[in-house]
A and B are shown apart, each in its own frame.
Chain A
Amino acid sequence: MAVATVKATFDVYRFEPGKDATPRYDRYVLDLPPHTPVLTALLKIRAEVDPSLSLRYSCRSAICGSCAMQINSKSRLACQAPIGPELARDGRIVIEPMRNQPVLRDLVVDQDGFWQNYRKVEPHLILDPRLPMPEGRENPMTPEEVDRFKETPRCIACAACYSACPAVEADPAFPGPMALAKLYRFVVDPRDRGQQDRLVRIQTEGLWLCLRCHLCTEACPKDVRPSERIRDLKELAIAAQGATEYGSRHAVAFKENIRARGVLNEMKLARQTMGTLGMVGQIPQGIRMWRKKPEFLRAPHAIEGEGEVEKIYEALDDHKTPEDLP
């Protein structure tokens, strides 16, 4: 059975730090069926054209997490990305190493930082000797308790989310989407005895640095939805400790602020987030803002249909997450 092929152009990032002055892009053109995964194409290039192309790969079935890379500027698993749609959209396929991790060579990146961030969230069950595991039998766990893990057990640590994350790029204190999704997995585990400590600690160790851009969820090849689990962690952290950080105070203040008038009172928001003392440090900024936009100091008028806002809040309070809303 003959399968129609397409002419596929690959521009592949090549770089060996210390040896090459700058990265270059090598072009390879192959005839391939459109459903060919990018990984298969790269292995064909290695086998038939250039054996010096360096990349990580193993399972070729999206379960080992080795072959994440930038494919036409998106962080994806090469084994899971067929060439057809890429060619149809962009006309060629640009292959680059993942972002937010230093390049070792070509498509191989140094993942030490990624793994260090993963270890920061103490990714193991925290036990309490006063509450021992049941002798000789499993801990009982209901199917509903298993459902609380959501999709986090599917994570294959491919680092596609880490590569896609602007907060990782901006702030070394942010542990990254994968580490936080992993933290969520332990926080909801009924066998774990460290939930409270974990939630308190993460409030000051990066939880509120997430930018809520959801690029991690878009990049994740296993539908782990890290940004949604980060949101869950934020709610759980506030429930566990209250709003103690700029980030959590800001979130709570924002919510109450809107609830009050249906529109944001920025002065109040800043004061509730930073406290009156914290506001003192913001005076120079305030003066600059006042020059440009003096009306920001005035309390906003209530919006029309203010009562509707309260109804929305009541509906949200009854339901844990927006997904649960009818």
Chain B
Amino acid sequence: MLKHEVVVVGAGLAGQRAALAAVEAGRDVAVFSKLHPLRSHSGAAQGGINAAVGKEDSVDTHIYDTVKGADYLGDQDAIEFFCQDAGPTVVEMEHFGTIFNRAADGSLARRPFGGAGFPRTIYAADRTGLALLQALWERLGTEEFTLYEEWDLTSLIVREGAVQGIVAFDRRKGDFAAVAAKAVVMATGPFGRVYGRTTNAHSCTGDGVAAAYAAGATLKDMEFVQFHPTALVESGILITEGARGEGGILKNALGERFMAKYAPHVLDLASRDVVSRSIVTEVLEGRGYPGGYVHLELMHLGKEKIESRLQEICDVARNFAGIDPVTQPIPIFPAQHYMMGGISTDIHGATSVRGLFAAGEAACVSIHGANRLGGNSLLETLVFGKQAGIAAASYATSAATPSLKEGDLDAATAPLRAWSSRTDGEDPATLRTEMQRVMDRYVGIYRNEADLLEGVRQIREVKKRFARIRVADQSKIYNVNLSDALEVGHMLQLAEVIVVGAYARTESRGAHARIDYPQRDDAHWMKHTLASKGPDGPQLSYSPVAYTRWEPKERVY
């Protein structure tokens, strides 16, 4: 049986940073990832990473912007810790070798981003995530640890309230394995693929969040789903907020710069939820282009600026939409982009299960509250990845030897092996498409009670069908059909939590916009949604938001 002191699941920025911290603490660390670490979705982050390092900027302003961006649902103590650690975190990544853009004086260049009071977003062209991922992987590569590359997480083993290990699936060999671990860090990133229209990679299926939930961990604020305002119409591929940071503007089919109506002060650089709703409103009220979209214009920035600062965007628009942003507007419409919710943790990554830690997009600390600001998620992966790694290492130092039993592997994998022995049943792709249709249709940017009820009903219907899922591919080697089935099973759990939480929250706050409850309701809803797995679906409870210095105000941009 495989055995390690600390097992990190996921090898994006959060997982790698956790692994580095745990290795530095002297623990025996294993990293499990279904992708080679350099293929992680962290690498797709484009715009940048926030840190208030400029002379005119301040950590307090970063805190305030984050609190306000979160529509006052973020825990202010966590946000303070987060913003204070931003400068040292960015400097550390620079020392690890990240190639950031520079100002003429040799300091880190900064660009303006949505919802921020100052140009605070440090960047590497429009591939900041890739730059950080490369540097961290190169740094981690100098340390001793075990990489399990291309392994799927199937489940988490918890006994008497404490983590004992994981069960994972080796894609290359086609074998399931139990892995004993004193501490497990879940850093499996987002689960945006519960939606069909998403900027997320195909691999963003929330395996760690679902496994944690299934093993008894509490999830938090799952109904808060960020829709990025600017994604390519057909494919949902992201066009970075940096495009607007560099001066890009949104226009409707009448040629109007419509953000002037919705955010008169900051226009196109309002918070993401505000911009996304504005675009949807324009289209719903008939001012979109036929087919339902608006334009993002960059042409006025000039060829040189577009091609140097927004190089990836140029390639994306040219390759995936057949549009040259130097001479043509880019047709865009919002798409699911980021999950504010996740496994509930404190600032050390600790969850409701002893020995289980989480960080990055898989976790909910919560610093993003009801809406995340651009440039804060890359920072989150590194700040809290490190904290989770330190905490997991510390826990593993004193934790009892995990007790995995002979039958654990069989018990955990018997239902999964049954998928492959069926001769009839539905393909994972069918159920995935069905789930995505339900989420796109009923749990989108604007929500209401009737839609959400229908969403709950239909997701539960798909869950029932999943009991008869069939894996037709009988090969052991690189059986993507089986990996698909594992992922769809995970996502269905999470889709249900999202829609149940959204139905229960009868207010509008941040990214959660209820047409039937258009106002923020601080008297009743200034609280986090907690979800734990019950016999008939998620059981909801609520917990207070931590306040330090900032009183809730109306959120105007």
| Complex interface: chain A residues within 8 A of B99 (CB) | 146, 149, 153, 189
Q: Which of A64, A115, A124 contacts B41 (CB 8 A)?
A: A64
**A46-B429 in contact (CB<8A):** yes
Q: If A63-B43, A63-B130, A156-B43 touch, does A52 touch B320 (CB 8 Å cutoff)?
A: no
Question: Quick check: is B127 within 8 A (CB to CB) of the other chain?
Answer: yes
Q: If A61-B237, A125-B138, A153-B99 touch, does A136 touch B35 (CB 8 Å cutoff)?
A: no
CB contacts under 8 Å to B, within A87-131, are 104-106, 108, 111, 115, 119, 123-125
| Complex interface: chain A residues within 8 A of B124 (CB) | 153
**B130-A156 in contact (CB<8A):** yes
**A58-B202 in contact (CB<8A):** yes
Q: If A61-B238, A63-B44 touch, does A139 touch B39 (CB 8 Å cutoff)?
A: no
Stretch at the interface among B179-187, B384-392, B473-481, B498-506: B473-481
CB contacts under 8 Å to A, within B139-174, are 139, 141-142, 172
Distance between Cα atoms of A145 and B101 in the complex (Å): 10
Return the chain A residue nearest B129 by Cβ: A63
Q: If A35-B322, A124-B97 touch, does A52 touch B478 (CB 8 Å cutoff)?
A: no
CB contacts under 8 Å to B, within A169-202, are 189, 191
| Complex interface: chain A residues within 8 A of B101 (CB) | 143, 146
**B477-A59 in contact (CB<8A):** no
**A58-B39 in contact (CB<8A):** yes
Distance between Cα atoms of A60 and B316 in the complex (Å): 11
**B131-A138 in contact (CB<8A):** no
Return the chain A residue nearest B232 by Cβ: A61
Return the chain B residue nearest A64 by Cβ: B39
Distance between Cα atoms of A133 and B226 in the complex (Å): 38
Q: How far is the CB of B126 from chain A (nearest CB, A)?
A: 10
CB contacts under 8 Å to A, within B384-436, are 427-430, 433
**B39-A65 in contact (CB<8A):** yes
| Complex interface: chain A residues within 8 A of B138 (CB) | 123-125
Question: Quick check: is A287 within 8 A (CB to CB) of the other chain?
Answer: no
| Complex interface: chain B residues within 8 A of A154 (CB) | 127, 130, 311-312
Q: How far is the CB of B430 from chain A (nearest CB, A)?
A: 8
Question: Quick check: is A285 within 8 A (CB to CB) of the other chain?
Answer: no
| Complex interface: chain B residues within 8 A of A157 (CB) | 36, 38-39
Stretch at the interface among B60-68, B103-111, B265-273, B440-448: B103-111
Return the chain B residue nearest A132 by Cβ: B95
Distance between Cα atoms of A143 and B141 in the complex (Å): 28
| Complex interface: chain A residues within 8 A of B188 (CB) | none
**B477-A105 in contact (CB<8A):** yes
**A51-B201 in contact (CB<8A):** no
| Complex interface: chain B residues within 8 A of A53 (CB) | 480
**B107-A119 in contact (CB<8A):** no
Interface residues on B, range: 35 or more
| Complex interface: chain A residues within 8 A of B312 (CB) | 63, 154
**A59-B41 in contact (CB<8A):** yes
**B475-A52 in contact (CB<8A):** yes
Q: If A52-B472, A153-B127 touch, does A66 touch B172 (CB 8 Å cutoff)?
A: no
Return the chain A residue nearest B147 by Cβ: A115
| Complex interface: chain B residues within 8 A of A55 (CB) | 480
| Complex interface: chain B residues within 8 A of A57 (CB) | 202
**B104-A143 in contact (CB<8A):** yes
Distance between Cα atoms of A304 and B429 in the complex (Å): 71
Contact with B along A50-84 (1 / 0, CB 8 A): 01111101111111111000000000000010000
**B475-A16 in contact (CB<8A):** yes
Question: Quick check: is A47 within 8 A (CB to CB) of the other chain?
Answer: yes
Question: Quick check: is A286 within 8 A (CB to CB) of the other chain?
Answer: no
| Complex interface: chain A residues within 8 A of B478 (CB) | 54, 104-106, 108
CB contacts under 8 Å to A, within B28-48, are 35-36, 38-41, 43-44
| Complex interface: chain B residues within 8 A of A125 (CB) | 96-97, 138-139
Given contacts A64-B44, A64-B201, A106-B478, 15 further A-B contacts (CB under 8 A): A46-B480, A51-B427, A51-B429, A52-B479, A60-B202, A61-B44, A61-B238, A63-B43, A63-B312, A123-B141, A124-B138, A124-B142, A138-B94, A153-B99, A154-B127
Interface residues of A (CB under 8 A from B): 1, 16, 19, 35, 37, 46-48, 51-55, 57-66, 80, 104-106, 108, 111, 115, 119, 123-125, 133, 136-143, 145-146, 149, 153-154, 156-157, 189, 191, 222
7 A-B pairs whose Cβ atoms sit less than 8 Å apart in the complex: A54-B479, A64-B44, A66-B35, A105-B478, A139-B94, A140-B106, A143-B103
A-B pairs, 7 with minimum CB distance: A140-B106, A47-B429, A52-B473, A124-B138, A59-B201, A138-B94, A64-B39
